[in-house]
Amino acid sequence: MGLRINTNQTALNAQRQLLGTSRAQTQGIASLASGLRITRAADDAAGLAIAERFRSQVRQFDQESRNLQFGVNAARTAEGGLQIQQEGVARLRELAVQAASGTLTDEQRGAINAEAQQIIEQIDNTGQQTEFNELNLLDGSAQNVPLGTEGGEELDVNESTAASLGIGGVDLSTQEGAEQAIQTLDTAAERVSQNRAEVGAQERRFESAIQQRELASQSAIEAESRIRDLDVARQTIEQTRNNILQQTGIAALLQSNLQGETAARLLGT
């Protein structure tokens, strides 16, 4: 192989290899610093697109879980109001049975009826005023309320007021009225119990949906991590290799530059 002065092909090849190693080393340092295999689209365009899709799914699942938690909280609030109403209906029936006794005077039944009317008003107030985040839950406003989730999960609470329970006209001031009220109150108690059961079933369904989305979110996070995150151990080994190659490249570049000096000596300069 001849010696040349104007063009040192060996030095150029060594320089090209050294530049490639330096670029790999710089990229490796950036990856180790960020903990990411993909720090820009140029690193892996297809991988980045897939990873971003998984990240979008994670955000969706997390937001849907929060929306469903609102549904759980609303259902629990509604169930609390229904429990208060159920206790009130039970007390009304107790008073109706008491007032149906023929041994009581009209004055005594009047006192019983006064308490009963207070309880009916309390039941109706509970139905009108039980709310969650400014949403009335028991006055019929909380029927088919969308929770903003894929699959169309909805909060659906039946109306539970004095009118819907049919107890608005209960009158225990007479024996006949008390006897008629017992059947009315039995029907009202059954409606409240049914409403509580439906609300409880919805709460359970929302909790299951939250668990499902949490699992899906975890799976998406793991999938994104496999694509985007850096294998630190492997990259550390690669960095060690690049360091050795860089040092070897510098030595080779210095050695190849000596060829010009050798040629000059042959010319006697």
Task: Please say whether the beta carbons of 162 and 81 come within 8 A.
Answer: no
pLDDT (mean) for 195-203: 96
Residues 91 and 201 in one domain: yes
Predicted pLDDT of residue 203: 96
Residues 196 and 256 in one domain: no
Is residue 153 in some structural domain?
yes
Predicted pLDDT of residue 263: 59
Predicted pLDDT of residue 258: 64
Q: Which residue has the higher pLDDT, 245 or 94?
A: 94
Predicted pLDDT of residue 64: 95
Poorest-confidence range of 5-9, 152-156, 185-189, 251-255? 5-9
Predicted structure pTM score: 0.75
Is residue 4 in some structural domain?
no
Residues 201 and 168 in one domain: yes
In the predicted model, what is the mean pLDDT of the chain?
Answer: 86
Q: Which domain holds residue 253?
A: 9-35+230-266
Domain with residue 201: its CATH number is 1.20.1330.10
Residues 15 and 78 in one domain: no
Is residue 130 in some structural domain?
yes
Digit-coded pLDDT (tens) for 118-138: 999 999 999 999 999 999 999
Q: Which residue has the higher pLDDT, 208 or 265?
A: 208
Residues 89 and 135 in one domain: yes
**Is 3's pLDDT higher than 60?**
no
Is residue 69 in some structural domain?
yes
pLDDT (mean) for 187-207: 96
Residues 20 and 63 in one domain: no
Residues 81 and 204 in one domain: yes
Is residue 2 in some structural domain?
no
Q: Which residue has the higher pLDDT, 77 or 44?
A: 77
**Is 7's pLDDT higher than 70?**
no
Is residue 1 in some structural domain?
no
Is residue 20 in some structural domain?
yes
Residues 133 and 180 in one domain: yes
Residues 134 and 19 in one domain: no
Predicted pLDDT of residue 241: 77
Digit-coded pLDDT (tens) for 209-254: 999 999 999 999 999 888 877 767 776 777 777 777 777 777 776 6
Domain count along the chain: 2
Residues 167 and 131 in one domain: yes
Digit-coded pLDDT (tens) for 55-78: 999 999 999 999 999 999 999 999
Is residue 41 in some structural domain?
no
Residues 81 and 131 in one domain: yes
Of 212, 227, 242, the residue that ends a domain is 227
**What is the pLDDT confidence band of residue 262, given thresholds at 50, 70 and 90?**
low
Residues 107 and 23 in one domain: no
Poorest-confidence range of 39-53, 148-162, 194-208, 222-236? 222-236
